[in-house]
Amino acid sequence: MQFVIIVFSSRNETLYMANMFRSNGVMVQIVNTPKEAGQACGISVKIDESLLPIARNFLRSKPFRSFYGFFRVSQKNGCQSIERIS
């Protein structure tokens, strides 16, 4: 299984991003941020990787000051790997 998390250092901006998706009819999840993703507020927005272009457009449209990055999370055979993506 593979997905992307959008990481912010602000809890409010994390929830705002999730609401932007939801108000556009796209259901997303709020998940705990893995510690490997670095310093963050503790929660992230989980999306399918196909939604990355939409997420990037949202980031360009609003002044998200606490955006930390996109991370690809892969889970295989009970192991989880996280890599930062641009």
What is the pTM assigned to this prediction?
A: 0.93
CATH number of the domain enclosing 29: 3.30.70
| Confidence label for 38 from pLDDT (cuts 50, 70 and 90) | confident
- If DSSP codes are grouped into helix, strand and coil, which group holds residue 30? strand
Domain count, the chain: 1
Range of the domain at 22: 2-85
pLDDT digits (tens, 9 = 90+) for 24-35: 999 999 999 999
Query: Residue 13 belongs to what H/E stretch?
Result: helix 11-23
